[in-house]
Amino acid sequence: MYLMPNAIESKGIAVLKEVLTRQGRKVENSDSKTFDLKVDGKYAEVKTKHTPYNKLDFLSFTDKQYDKISKEDFLIFLICNIDDPEQAEIYEFSSKELREIAPKKYTSHEFNKSVIDRIEKTKI
């Protein structure tokens, strides 16, 4: 399995695996770096948010994932409210649904906290 770069994604995947397994669905680690899991034999991407669905801000996809959205059918699981795993909200939909709507494209250069931790800075 491709290791997630941040803890929130790993937490979401763990909660999702537990729920799907309880439902009797087949959950496997993905053999693709583009996707997080295989669920019932289909590739699946997992998006995890701290907040409940009613406070959802956006879902982002890598260029590779977006390219796959336009060409392939795969599952997307959205896990909201992960800060309270017992009350996590889990939604499932198909990549085909996203083909029907247009995303906004943002380009940015992101520095995550682990990298920022390495530089000298002063708290004021």
50 within a domain of the structure (yes/no): yes
Read off the pLDDT band of 122 (50, 70, 90): confident
Alpha-carbon distance of 16 to 83, in angstroms, equals 14
58 within a domain of the structure (yes/no): yes
CB of 33 closer than 8 Å to CB of 2: yes
**Residue of 113 and 9 predicted with greater confidence:** 9
Read off the pLDDT band of 99 (50, 70, 90): confident
123 within a domain of the structure (yes/no): no
Q: What is the pLDDT of residue 12?
A: 96
2 within a domain of the structure (yes/no): no
Q: What is the pLDDT of residue 64?
A: 87
Alpha-carbon distance of 82 to 89, in angstroms, equals 8
**What six digits make up the tokens of 48?**
């995890």
Range of the domain at 74: 7-116
CATH code, domain carrying 12: 3.40.1350.10
Alpha-carbon distance of 42 to 67, in angstroms, equals 17
Q: What is the mean pLDDT of the chain?
A: 89
pTM: 0.81
Total tally of structural domains belonging to the chain:
1
16 within a domain of the structure (yes/no): yes
122 within a domain of the structure (yes/no): no
Read off the pLDDT band of 93 (50, 70, 90): very high
Alpha-carbon distance of 90 to 13, in angstroms, equals 11
51 within a domain of the structure (yes/no): yes
97 within a domain of the structure (yes/no): yes
Q: What is the pLDDT of residue 107?
A: 75
